[in-house]
């Protein structure tokens, strides 16, 4: 999504990422198109906007150059051309600003109107369309007038709500900015009078009279004159009835950060529902959000209420009632009930009665679980997004370090700290308070394996608990005993878990559902299967309070081993794509399980790491896979031969892909020695796998006869098992060996047979592998014929999430293009593929040395200017694949 902000310095984001537009001319072009609001703007008008009265010699060509550059940044579909001119499809803060002002005019309740106007004013960052001159004057004038009116409307709404001191503060600044807007003086004078500052109110009247007379030679307008007469007459209707108002809720002194989405949902949903509950974990900021949104509405704080019998008195006090009535009647507007989780049943009964007896009353409650009342709407208050969490940290640290601005290193540390604290506002606040005494890296160091020790909550904070740990303990201690025990055992899971994983460690669906409803576990229902997570601070608390942490970690490691053992069988078969996705999703858990087993059961770690060979290989985790395999081989010298052989071979294939081809071959041969002549099915399967590895390596070293022998032996071994997929890959290797021996017809027939078998049985990876080998066989005689198999291979490998093999397809296509006499396209694909391979830790030269040697030889013949142009293209992975897929069509 393209978003352009022009209410102040131009800011542009694409899919949430800030982008640079360029110099003054591209900035004017973008702002002129925003003024057009998605409609085409003719080239002559754009030229006027960009250059004014001094256009260049060829404005059309310059304009096209700017448009071309912007399309690369925005996407071609965002900036389009039609007979009417150029149009930009983007969201802008102007449209958002105007929509909020329109909404404010239709909102009935002053508290809602104030919220909407406040959100509109937050969008204003400075002079609109700052880079445009005369071209933007009319639009700028209109927006400036709307902004000025919105400032005044906001202050008027504050006065209507009885918050005169804040209205006075706002109008003092507003009067200084534009002293000739009489409405601002009216609001300032009225606010002063309602704040019991009559002398200052009359002084302001004299001041505005003198200003208008001296500067403009006029008297005040009728509204100001009427206000003056009413002030002199001490008109009682000028004052609000302050004695009838309940005591205002305690307002935090710190800046409120983020929560725009939640406030927008509150604004829309509270018009449809009379009972809204903000639910979320302790410290997530439910109370602060309620305070900010509800404004001066009556606010009943229930955290310190220990008995349901005390509820009526606390509500009466919040409503400003001197006595507790038998029934609360005659109420309207909004009432906030805060911290209800320990009195859920009693608050539910009270809410039902309040809503039944007061048809014009709405309730906003905060709790760690819903009240369970019919008609209740729940609004989850999740941890802050990363950007808002960093903004909160930055604001609070600046409060204890006057003049502080984060350095580049501190900016990175802020990101790490915000992520480590899960974006929980309370934790962020406490961490920021520590910045008075500690560096940011020191604070991050406090967040090790133990629960973070971040000190006491400030005295005037809205949270009812003295420490972060007390906040978490409050949530955990409210759980029934069996749920508390189960929660304390879930901490070993990293990166979340599924229901199946939870059940493996003793947590059934009923308990898990209850933990989610009580906000100590979150559920991501947008993923399939549903993914459950615990906040890191809750995990840390559970880790420290688990009665048997060793057993909990062991159960988790057993589950991760069992998962690999179950799913690894599918990594090469028809369900390999699904298996890769599952393992990718569970990678943090697999890592944790392997770390545990390396320390406690190294033989088990060796088996698991070896079984994951194709996962390490196909997902590009080369360095991590080698590190874990080598550690396990070192610590488990007495493990079964089949496991040691598999792990050694896995090291070989990872060396082969990412490091040294000769070392890869040596490790595969070493694995064959370790394995010997196996007698069981598992051993024979591994032997067959090692034989086709051996065959492929012989091809890479140019010994096609030995490659064919190894492939045939692998095929024979495959036939002795029930693994139909097993024979497909060695059949493809046999085809490549036959091609190397000069038996082209037989080679192509063999390769096409492997492809057909893969299609028939759904062996995606094997089919892609065979298709690449067929393409290489065709390049020699008919380079153009290679593109069809390569397109099919790309489709297979992308479905299998094998990015490394997609890059192999790309360089094979580059070789075919060289042979067809299309050096620029070939060099462009070559440069892009090698660039992306380097980022992934993949050595493409090891993927097929004869092919890559031929490719590099062709590249050496290309003119330096062509190579430079190819490198400058800097294709993304999607663009690279799209270019390949278009070849030969």
If you ran DSSP here, which 8-state letter would residue 235 be given? -
User: Of the candidates 827, 707, 280, 876, which has an alpha carbon nearest to the alpha carbon of residue 519?
Assistant: 280
Handedness of CA 551, 553, 557, 559 (dihedral sign): positive
Across 343-357, 360-374, 470-484, 641-655, least confident range: 470-484
Vertex 711: Cα angle to 708 and 715 (nearest 5)? 135
Q: What is the distance between the alpha carbons of residues 794 and 884, in angstroms, rounded to a whole number?
A: 9
* Residue 48 near residue 135, CB atoms below 8 Å: yes
Look-up: residue for tokens 């490091």?
659
Q: What is the distance between the alpha carbons of residues 501 and 558, in angstroms, rounded to a whole number?
A: 10
How crowded is residue 105: how many other Cβ atoms within 10 Å of its Cβ?
9
**276 burial type by CB count under 10 A (0-12 exposed, 13-18 middle, 19+ buried):** buried
Q: Shortest CA distance to 874 belongs to which of 816, 840, 834, 819?
A: 834
Q: With a cut of 70, say whether residue 325 has pLDDT above it.
A: yes
CATH number for 479-546: choose from 3.40.50, 1.20.5, 1.10.10, 1.10.8: 1.10.10
In whole angstroms, give the CA distance from residue 304 to residue 311.
10
Helices 24-35 + 59-74 axis angle, to 10: 80
CB of 120 closer than 8 Å to CB of 87 = no
- Strand, helix or coil at 839? helix
Output the CA–CA distances (angstroms, integers) from residue 580 to 481, 504, 558, 577, 695, in the order listed. Answer: 38, 21, 20, 5, 25
* 643 touches 610 (CB < 8 A): yes
Q: What average pLDDT does the segment 660-678 reach?
A: 87
Spell out the SS3 assignment of 697-727. Answer: HHHHCCCHHHHHHHHHHHHHHHHCCCCHHHH
Whole-angstrom Cα distance, residue 121 to residue 148?
10
Residue 558 has pLDDT above 90, yes or no: yes
* Per-residue tokens: 208: 């505005």
Task: List the one residue out of 211, 241, 208, 246 whose CA is nearest residue 227.
Answer: 208
The mean pLDDT of 513-521, rounded to a whole number, is 82
Instruction: Provide the CATH number for the domain formed by 557-676 in this structure.
Output: 1.25.40
Instruction: Indicate the angle between helix axes 468-477 and 425-434, nearest 10 degrees.
Output: 160
Give the whole-number percent of the chain exceeding pLDDT 70. Answer: 92
Q: What is the pLDDT of residues 136-174, one digit of tens each?
A: 888 899 999 999 999 999 998 888 777 888 889 889 989
Structure tokens that stand for 565 in this block: 């053992």
390-396 average pLDDT score = 86
> In the predicted model, what is the mean pLDDT of residues 402-416?
85
pLDDT for the residue numbered 254: 77
Percentage of the chain beyond pLDDT 90 is: 20
Confidence of residue 321 (pLDDT cuts 50, 70, 90): low
What pLDDT is stored for residue 243 in this prediction?
A: 35
- State the pLDDT at residue 546: 87
Span 661-670, average pLDDT: 86
Ranges 198-212, 600-614, 816-830, 859-873: which has the least confidence: 859-873
Q: Across residues 350-360, what is the average pLDDT?
A: 90
pLDDT of residue 276: 92
d(CA 430, CA 458): 9
DSSP string, 750-765: HHHHHHHHHHHHT-HH
Would you state the structure tokens that stand for residue 110, as one six-digit string? 């002053």
d(CA 352, CA 162): 29
Q: Is 610 buried (19+), middle (13-18) or exposed (0-12) by CB count in 10 A?
A: buried
Write down the pLDDT at residue 574. 62
| CA-wise closest residue to 560 among 603, 518, 589 | 589
The two tokens of residue 866 are 């062509």
Question: Which segments of 302-371 are extended strands (E)?
Answer: 332-338, 360-367
Token couple for 475: 């949530």
Q: Compute the C-alpha angle 259/262/267, nearest 5°.
A: 125
Mean pLDDT on 432-441: 77
**What is the pLDDT, as a whole number, of residue 706?**
92
Mean pLDDT across the chain, nearest whole number?
84
Helices (H) and strands (E) in the chain, counts: 42, 13
Rounded to whole angstroms, the Cα distance separating 172 from 166 reads: 10
Residue among 568, 565, 574, 578 nearest 616 (CA):
568
Whole-number CA gyration radius for the chain: 35
In this prediction, residue 271 has a pLDDT band, given cuts at 50, 70 and 90, of: confident
Give pLDDT, residue 459: 41
> Which of 67-81, 278-292, 352-366 is most confident?
352-366
Question: Is the overall model pTM greater than 0.75, yes or no?
Answer: no
Distance CA 118, CA 153 (A): 10
State the Cα–Cα distance between residues 295 and 288, nearest whole angstrom.
11
Q: Which are the contacts of 509, defined by CB distance < 8 A and separation ≥ 6?
A: 499, 503
Length of the chain in terms of residues written: 889
Choose among 395, 468, 464, 392: nearest CA to 427.
468
Q: Which residue would you say has higher pLDDT here, 812 or 55?
A: 812
- Give the count of alpha carbons within 13 A of 633, CB side only: 20
Two structure tokens written together for 340: 């209800």
pLDDT above 80 (res 109): no
* Residue 245: per-residue pLDDT: 46
At 741-781, the pLDDT tens digits run: 989 899 999 999 988 988 887 777 788 889 999 999 999 88
Please report which confidence band the pLDDT of residue 467 belongs to, taking 50, 70 and 90 as the band edges.
low
| Closest CA relative to residue 190, chosen from 202, 207, 176 | 202
Per-residue confidence (pLDDT) for residue 418, from 0 to 100: 85
pLDDT confidence tier of residue 247, bands split at 50, 70 and 90: low
CA 597 to chain CA centroid, nearest Å: 32
- Tokens found for residue 316: 């009466």
Three-state secondary structure string covering 81-136: EECCEEEECCEEHHHHHHHHHHHHHHCCCHHHHHHHHHHHHHCCCCCECCCCCHHH
Q: For residue 419, give every residue at least 6 positions away whose Cβ sits within 8 Å of its Cβ, in sequence order, or none.
A: 386, 389
Strands 299-301 and 332-338: parallel
Does position 839 have pLDDT exceeding 50, yes or no? yes
Chain centre distance of CA 717: 47
Any residues with CB less than 8 A from the CB of 364 and at least 6 apart, and which? 266, 270, 276, 277, 278, 290, 293, 294, 297, 334, 335, 336, 337
CATH value of 2-94 in 3.40.50.300, 1.20.120.530, 1.10.10.10, 3.90.1010.10: 1.10.10.10
Q: Which CATH number fits domain 273-380: 3.40.640.10, 3.30.360.10, 3.40.50.300, 1.10.30.50?
A: 3.40.50.300
* Letter string b/e over residues 327-364, b meaning 16 or more CB atoms within 10 A of that residue's CB: ebeebeebbbbbbbbbbbebbbebbbebbeebeebbbb
How far is Cα 182 from Cα 263, in angstroms, rounded to an integer? 32
Query: pLDDT at position 461, please?
Result: 47
Comparing 642 with 878, which gets the higher pLDDT?
642
Rounded average pLDDT over 38-45: 88
pLDDT at 737 over 60: yes
- Report whether pLDDT(820) > 50: yes
The two tokens of residue 726 are 């097993």
Q: CB-hemisphere CA count at 13 Å for 781?
A: 8
pLDDT in tens, 174-226: 999 899 999 999 999 988 888 878 888 899 999 998 988 888 888 888 888 88
Can you tell me the mean pLDDT for 724-731? 75
Helices within 123-255 (DSSP H only): 137-160, 164-177, 182-194, 198-211, 222-232
């Amino acid at each position: 999504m393209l978003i352009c902000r022009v209410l102040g310095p131009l800011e542009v984001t694409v899919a949430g990422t800030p982008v640079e537009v360029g110099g003054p001319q591209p900035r004017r072009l973008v702002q002129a198109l925003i003024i057009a609001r998605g409609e085409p703007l003719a080239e002559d008008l754009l030229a006027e906007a960009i250059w004014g009265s001094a256009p260049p010699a060829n404005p059309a060509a310059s304009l096209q150059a700017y448009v071309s550059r912007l399309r690369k940044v925005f996407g071609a579909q965002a900036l389009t051309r039609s007979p009417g001119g150029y149009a930009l499809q983007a969201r802008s803060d102007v449209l958002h600003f105007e929509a909020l002002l329109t909404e404010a005019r239709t909102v009935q309740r002053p508290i809602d109107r104030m919220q909407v106007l406040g959100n509109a004013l937050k969008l204003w960052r400075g002079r609109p369309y700052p880079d445009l001159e005369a071209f933007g004057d009319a639009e700028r004038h209109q927006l400036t007038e709307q902004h000025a009116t919105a400032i005044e409307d906001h202050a008027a709404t504050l006065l209507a709500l009885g918050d005169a001191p804040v209205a006075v503060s706002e109008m003092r600044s507003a009067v200084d900015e534009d002293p000739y807007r009489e409405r601002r003086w009216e609001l300032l004078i009225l606010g002063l009078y309602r704040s019991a500052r009559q002398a200052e109110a009359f002084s302001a009247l004299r001041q505005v009279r003198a200003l208008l007379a001296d500067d403009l030679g006029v008297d005040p307008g009728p509204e100001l004159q009427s206000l003056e007469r009413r002030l002199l007459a001490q008109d009682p209707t000028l004052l609000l009835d302050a004695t009838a108002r309940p005591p205002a809720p305690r307002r935090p002194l710190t800046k409120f950060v983020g929560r725009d989405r939640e406030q927008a949902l509150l604004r829309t949903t509270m018009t449809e529902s009379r009972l809204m509950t903000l639910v979320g974990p302790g410290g997530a900021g439910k109370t602060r959000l309620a305070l900010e949104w509800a404004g001066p509405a009556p606010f009943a704080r229930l955290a310190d209420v220990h008995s349901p019998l005390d509820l009526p008195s606390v509500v009466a006090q919040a409503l400003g009632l001197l006595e507790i009535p038998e029934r609360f009647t005659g109420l309207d507007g909004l009432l906030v009930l805060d911290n209800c989780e320990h009195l859920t049943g009693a608050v539910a009964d009270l809410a039902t009665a309040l809503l039944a007896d007061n048809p014009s009353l709405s309730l906003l409650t905060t709790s760690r679980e819903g009240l369970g009342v019919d008609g209740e709407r729940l609004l989850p208050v999740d941890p802050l997004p990363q950007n808002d969490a960093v903004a909160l940290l930055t604001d609070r640290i600046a409060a204890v370090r006057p003049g502080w601005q984060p350095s580049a290193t501190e900016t990175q540390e802020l990101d790490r700290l915000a992520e480590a604290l899960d974006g929980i506002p309370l934790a962020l606040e406490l961490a920021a308070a520590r910045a008075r005494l500690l560096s940011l890296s020191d604070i991050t160091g406090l967040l090790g394996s133990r629960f973070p020790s971040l000190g006491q909550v400030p005295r005037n904070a809205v949270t009812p608990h003295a420490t972060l740990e007390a906040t978490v303990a409050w949530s955990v201690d409210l759980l029934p005993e069996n749920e508390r025990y189960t929660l304390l055992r879930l901490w070993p899971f990293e990166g979340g878990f599924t229901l199946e994983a939870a059940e493996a460690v003793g947590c059934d669906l009923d308990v898990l559902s209850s933990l989610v409803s009580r906000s100590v576990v979150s559920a991501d229902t947008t993923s399939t299967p549903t993914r459950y997570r615990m906040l890191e601070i809750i995990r840390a608390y559970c880790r420290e309070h688990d009665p048997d942490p060793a057993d909990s970690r062991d159960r988790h490691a057993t589950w991760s081993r069992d998962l690999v053992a179950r799913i690894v069988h599918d990594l090469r078969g028809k369900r390999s794509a699904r298996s890769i996705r599952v393992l990718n999703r569970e990678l943090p858990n697999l890592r944790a399980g392997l770390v545990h087993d390396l320390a406690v059961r190294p033989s088990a770690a060796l088996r698991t790491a070896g079984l994951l060979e194709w996962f390490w290989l196909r997902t590009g985790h080369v360095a991590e896979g080698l590190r874990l395999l080598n550690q396990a081989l070192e610590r488990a010298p007495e493990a079964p031969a089949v496991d040691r052989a598999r792990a050694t071979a896995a090291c070989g294939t990872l060396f082969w892909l990412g490091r040294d081809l000769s070392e890869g071959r040596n490790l595969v041969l070493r694995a064959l020695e370790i394995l010997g002549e196996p007698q069981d099915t598992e051993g024979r399967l591994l032997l067959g796998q090692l034989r086709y590895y051996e065959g492929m390596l012989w091809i890479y070293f140019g010994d096609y006869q030995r490659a064919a022998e190894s492939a045939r032996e692998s095929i024979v071994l495959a036939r002795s098992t029930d693994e139909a997929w097993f024979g497909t890959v060695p059949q493809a290797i046999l085809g490549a060996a036959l091609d190397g021996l000069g038996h082209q017809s037989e080679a192509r027939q063999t390769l096409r047979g492997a492809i057909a078998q893969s299609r028939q049985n759904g062996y995606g990876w094997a089919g892609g592998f065979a298709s690449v080998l067929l393409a290489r066989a065709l390049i020699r005689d008919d380079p153009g014929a290679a593109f069809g198999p390569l397109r099919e291979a790309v489709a297979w490998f992308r479905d299998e999430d094998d990015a490394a093999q997609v890059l192999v397809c790309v360089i094979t296509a580059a070789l075919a293009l060289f042979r067809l006499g299309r050096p620029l396209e070939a060099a462009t694909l070559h440069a892009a593929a090698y660039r992306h391979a380097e980022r992934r830790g993949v050595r493409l030269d090891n993927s097929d040395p004869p092919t890559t040697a031929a490719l590099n030889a062709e590249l050496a013949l290309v003119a330096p200017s062509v190579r430079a142009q190819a490198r400058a293209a800097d294709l993304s992975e999607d663009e690279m694949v799209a270019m390949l897929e278009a070849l030969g069509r």
